[in-house]
A and B are shown apart, each in its own frame.
Chain A
Amino acid sequence: MALIFELAVQGAQMVLVLVLAPLLTGFVRKVKARLQRRQGPPLIQPYRDLLRLMRKEVVLADNASWLFRVIPYLIFAATWVAAALVPTFATGLKFSWTADLIAIVALLGSARFFLALAAMDVGTSFGGIGASREVMIASLAEPAMLLIVFSLALVAGATQLSTVAAFMASPDVGLRVSLGMSLIALVMVAIAENARIPVDNPATHLELTMVHEAMVLEYSGRHLAMIEFATFLKLLLYVSLISCVFIPWGLAIAGAGPQSLVVGAVAYAGKLAVCGILLAVFETAIAKMRVFRVPDFLGAALMLALLGTLLLFVSRSL
């Protein structure tokens, strides 16, 4: 019975991220539009977009290979698995020990690896420019992310996300400088990874500075729907990650009853809303960077993360 309940919670989490991901993106877009004194699209517009794309035919470039047609599903699957492993409303899910934070970062790395390959498959210069810039951004964002993981793991004693979240929710955490540095670095990495302003502009087209959009330029129809869905999932993943590690309050701890699960779900919705509003405000307030300023931005994140880790190493014996 307990096993069935645990499996049900795990399944609920997997479905929940699928259902919520487009909503979060729609919410951020809505808030941004209101901040810019626009009406904005309705909240459910991303769902409609996905349905519309799925109903459309696929226009495939003449020399697109089999890899080009497989990759959208791979990207979607890797991102979905990663998103399902991040605690949203409860920790200690049935399969949460399958992959730790390092593996979640690497799963997202796999998705990016394949997306960059897909961009180069057709052989247009836009695909190449997107892929080469994406790997440049990733080459700084990924080490920064891993160093953040190191900091969290050193504080919590494990790289397992459930353990980290449970530790963060416990009273032994206290205020730590290195955690503050990690938070700032994590937010910077999340902005870069999700192709948000100031690193990239998710709403742009036909602009030489675009990165993510340049990579998916040749996709259409159901393939594009899969990739868009993966993008929504990735935003949700990062928001869940930041909230479960740094604002863990309300999270249902492993083995808790249905009541605390409800509390966890409500708290989770609240966290998503707060983070979404903050993201929209930030994006409205700041201007897009030139692409070769991005290394400075991410280099700062990398340095902060390294300093945080170093501080933990050095302060262990004090």
Chain B
Amino acid sequence: MSVVALPLWGVAALLGTAIAAVAIGRRGSATQLVYGATLAISAVVLVIVTGELVGDPAGVSAVTLPLGLPWIGAQFRLDALSAFFLLVVNLGGAAASLYGLGYGHHEPAPGRVLPFFPAFLAGMNLVVLANDAFSFLLSWEFMSLASWALVMAHHREQDNTRAGYIYLVMASFGTLALLLAFGLLAGLGGTYTFDAMRAAEPSQFVAAAVLGLMLLGAGSKAGLVPLHVWLPLAHPAAPSHVSALMSGVMTKVAVYGFIRVIFDLLGEPAWWSGVVVLSLGGLTAVLGILYALLEKDLKRLLAYSTIENIGVIFASLGLALAFKANAMPSAAALALTAALFHVLNHSFFKSLLFFGAGAVLTATGERDMEKLGGLIHRMPLTSFVFLVGCVSISALPPFNGFVSEWLAFQAILQSPDLPQWGLKVMVPAVGGLLALSAALAAACFVKAFGITFLGRPRSAAVEHAHEVDRYSLAAMFALAALCLLAGILPGLVIDGLSPVTLSLIGNRMPVQLAQPWLSIVPIGESRSSYNGLLVFVFIAISASLAAFVIHRFASHALRRGPAWGCGFPDITPAAQYTAVSFAQPIRRVFGTFAFRARERVEMPPPGATAPARLDVEVHDVVWETFYQPITGAIGFATEKLNHLQFLTIRRYLTLVFLFLVTLLLVLALWP
């Protein structure tokens, strides 16, 4: 039995769990059983895949099942790239299942979630394993539909049906683009296996069209601007552990699709493809985080931040493409490693943050940050792990987000040797955009943590909040520990990624574990290095030293009293800074340009008792420029075509006759 059969058995077990969940869904113990089963299956697949990635990194195993298209069957394959993404999928799946063991009890209608959760996991596993276009597209659609069903789990809540509808439209559109891309790759001969596509040499025109279609298809699933509109609606609408999977893992499956086609199947890239991907990535990163900064719904803020991280990943992928096209393999390996490292990191901290948001939601029933605050006193453990997630995602050392950001910057510093002028101008600009998005991300997560967990409670719901159950906490603590571990031992991850870069680029980063003191270095001859472990140890030592000296020699006296606040008594918690007011300076600096944000203050005349009013007007520019014209055109067309419904039978016959004549004419004139 080849190795690829093992994860496939896992998929079969997941599908079996999904069917069983339909049968037992109404029983009280169903939640425990289903999440327990998915946890066990994901953990087993995770162990197998990790073993494969470490033990036999260059190994490729393939299997053909007698399903799918009759003349090629359903082909599945496990290589380094799919092994890495299987690791991401199943790690996220295991964490979400563990979290679901506790969180699932708060689900009002478990029958709407339990069958689809294992199905969703199975779909994501299958996409990563598929080795022919038919299985890939089928699994992709299966994954989309399962996640759509999960988005619609709470369909009676306001806005959720709209979110589900937009998601469905965008997902169908994305699959259509993928279908066309695979059609182009298969060529006239129609060889739908990936092996045949890999062997074929597509013309330049076909390669360009495939790149564009993949950016539409995989980009819409991943959340590239301007195709991101469904993401901040759909991800938060699902139950929180599913939101974590959608944001942390499903977007990564989309990234996998992009890498598989562009880096693996398409052959040598053209240099300008790097420019396209790079600039889309930079734009996505900055716009995503600006949207997140203006958001006051905690889960939507996290969804927008996912868009930012996808932007960072795509920018690194664009760099890797540019280096690959210019035969700079060591730099390309560095950029690709940065992208994959960020894939892994983002799956850790975004799942963690969505779990935290779910914990807040169960404890208070609120997602609106303007009604939260002061939760650090009520939920100390949740707030601690949420803080770890915030620090990691803000790319601050010694946590993991910083390492992938650092690798991306190091890759940018390799790029002045690129020969094309388009790249020479674009790369530093995108470097600036990435730096900007990193700084804005820190601002965004100061806001997310500060408004939600710090300060005084802004509503009664917070005052009755309690710490969440042990399963949820265990899942969050496990992910927080992974964030720290990947941050202080990045060499392990980088070396683990080397088989992937070897198979896609033909080169790898230098062996990191051979470096003294477990430092990491970007490329062999460079003299730059970073050591997360030592930074962590130094901070720990100097903080303890400072605390020791202070407690040994300084005063111990401590008195509790009312807050000082410059002597202004603060009557109500409503006078605190809110999410909207916290973002006001940034909205003024960046929002006037990006969102046409306007503020209007209406002051009553002196002496009048009317309240002053502040109106803030923010436009979603992407929605208004790209989508409103389309929806408008469709609305217009349907209104016109609506007349066809009310014709007499004579007119219908005339129309049929005319149509037939036209058709015959076309046939007659066709050369």
Contacts and interface: CB of A to CB of B under 8 A. Distances in A.
Interface in B372-424: 373-374, 376-377, 380, 387, 391, 394-397, 402, 405-406, 409-410, 412-413, 415-417, 419, 421, 424
Given A135-B443, A217-B564, A295 B416 contact: no
B394 A99 contact: no
A60 interface: yes
A17 B502 CA distance: 45
B428 A309 contact: yes
Contacts of A154: 413, 416
A54 B553 contact: yes
A310 B565 contact: no
Interface in B63-104: none
B542 A131 contact: no
Contacts of A138: 439, 442-443
Contacts of B535: 81, 98-99, 103, 107
Nearest to A78: B539
Interface stretch (B127-135, B584-592, B623-631): B584-592
B449 A117 contact: yes
Contact of A81 (B402, B445, B538): B538
B531 A97 contact: yes
A59 B559 contact: yes
Interface in A131-153: 131-133, 135-136, 138-143, 146-147, 150, 153
Contacts of B530: 98-100, 102-103
B531 A123 contact: no
Nearest to A105: B435
B456 interface: yes
A113 B446 CA distance: 7
A150 B435 CA distance: 11
Interface in A116-174: 116-117, 120-129, 131-133, 135-136, 138-143, 146-147, 150, 153-154, 157-160, 163
Contact of B438 (A81, A97, A142, A302): A142
Interface in B571-608: 573, 575-577, 581-586, 588-590
Contacts of A58: 555, 557-559
B435 A147 contact: yes
Contacts of A163: 527-528
A126 B566 contact: yes
Given A103-B406, A135-B446, A150-B412, A221 B555 contact: yes
A139, A154, A163, A316 pick with most chain B CB within 10 angstroms = A139
A60, A62, A95, A125 pick with most chain B CB within 10 angstroms = A125
The interface residues of chain A, by DSSP majority, are classed as helix
A48 to B, nearest CB: 14
B560 interface: yes
Nearest to B431: A150
Interface in B425-440: 425, 427-429, 431-432, 435-436, 438-440
Interface in A80-105: 80-81, 84, 95, 97-100, 102-103
Contact of A139 (B443, B540, B563, B564): B443
A314 B419 CA distance: 10
Contact of A61 (B534, B542, B563): B563
Contacts of B538: 77, 81, 84, 95, 98
Given A57-B559, A123-B454, A135 B442 contact: yes
A259 interface: no
Interface stretch (A37-45, A65-73, A194-202, A242-250): A65-73
B439 A143 contact: yes
A100 B582 CA distance: 32
Interface residues of B, number: 91
Interface string B515-557: 0000100000011111100110011101100110010011101
A74 interface: yes
A301 interface: no
Contact of B563 (A63, A67, A80, A135): A63
B451 interface: yes
B561 interface: yes
B226 interface: no
A316 B416 contact: yes
Contact of B543 (A60, A73, A133): A73
Given A55-B555, A139-B443, A62 B563 contact: yes
B22 to A, nearest CB: 45
B118 interface: no
A313 B535 CA distance: 31
Given A55-B555, A61-B563, A124 B539 contact: no
B110 interface: no
B394, B397, B440, B581 pick with most chain A CB within 10 angstroms = B397
A226 B546 contact: yes
B455 interface: yes
A146 B438 CA distance: 10
Contact of A129 (B435, B577, B590): B577
A81 B542 contact: yes
Given A128-B577, A139-B440, A157-B527, A57 B563 contact: no
B450 A310 contact: no
A54 B550 CA distance: 8
Nearest to B415: A313
A159 B543 contact: no
Interface in A266-318: 291-292, 295, 302, 306, 309-310, 312-314, 316-317
A225 B554 contact: yes
A27 interface: no
Contact of B564 (A61, A109, A128): A61
A107 B402 CA distance: 10
A136 B561 contact: no
Contacts of A160: 527-529
A112 B395 CA distance: 13
Nearest to A68: B454
Given A54-B554, A128-B582, A150-B431, A99 B546 contact: no
B562 interface: yes
B570 interface: yes
B529 A97 contact: yes
20 contacts: A56-B557, A58-B557, A59-B564, A65-B376, A65-B454, A73-B546, A98-B535, A99-B531, A102-B530, A106-B397, A110-B397, A113-B446, A120-B451, A122-B455, A124-B563, A139-B439, A139-B586, A158-B527, A225-B554, A292-B589
Interface of A: 54-63, 65-67, 73-74, 76-78, 80-81, 84, 95, 97-100, 102-103, 106-107, 109-110, 112-113, 116-117, 120-129, 131-133, 135-136, 138-143, 146-147, 150, 153-154, 157-160, 163, 206, 217-218, 221-222, 225-226, 291-292, 295, 302, 306, 309-310, 312-314, 316-317
Given A77-B542, A97-B519, A125-B570, 20 more contacts: A57-B559, A59-B564, A78-B539, A98-B529, A100-B529, A103-B397, A106-B397, A109-B394, A121-B455, A125-B568, A125-B576, A126-B565, A127-B577, A143-B436, A146-B432, A217-B566, A221-B554, A221-B558, A292-B585, A309-B428
Q: Which 6 A-B pairs have the closest CB atoms?
A: A128-B577, A57-B557, A123-B455, A77-B543, A120-B450, A135-B443
Interface of B: 373-374, 376-377, 380, 387, 391, 394-397, 402, 405-406, 409-410, 412-413, 415-417, 419, 421, 424-425, 427-429, 431-432, 435-436, 438-440, 442-443, 445-447, 449-451, 454-456, 519, 526-531, 534-535, 538-540, 542-543, 546-547, 550, 553-555, 557-566, 568, 570, 573, 575-577, 581-586, 588-590
